[in-house]
Amino acid sequence: MSDEILEGASLTLEQFCAVAALERAWLVERIEAGLIPAEGTSAASWRFSGATLARVRRMREIERAYDAAPELAALVADMLEEMDRLRARLRRFD
């Protein structure tokens, strides 16, 4: 079996949608609003990393559970990511 490590941002828009079970329009709207990071300048050249998957999942859950505006869901995702970083640092001092 050929195993390959995907480095950094390497998934295309179509691959990312398939992997995250997302609708393309939902994702494009949020990328264009700057709420989800994508490397590249146009939809054809956008590339996504594995880390973005977690962010997208969180945003989708928050939007669904609370009928939240995408900007609010992105803000919550920002805070959860910051919390992840701080927790990781905290573990080093425990």
From 26-34, 35-43, 48-56, span contacting other proteins (CB under 8 A): 48-56
C-beta closer to other proteins: residue 49 or 72: 49
Chain-centroid distance, C-alpha 66: 19
- Using an 8 Å Cβ cutoff, are 83 and 61 in contact? no
Q: Does 41 bind other proteins (CB under 8 A)?
A: no
Among positions 33, 51, 69, 86, the unique one binding other proteins when judged by CB under 8 A: 51
57-66: Cβ within 8 A, 24+ apart: 57/20, 59/30, 59/35, 60/22
Six token digits for residue 50: 């594995």
Q: Which residues bind other proteins (CB under 8 A)?
A: 1-7, 11, 14-15, 17-22, 49-51, 53, 58, 60, 64-66, 80, 83, 88, 91-93
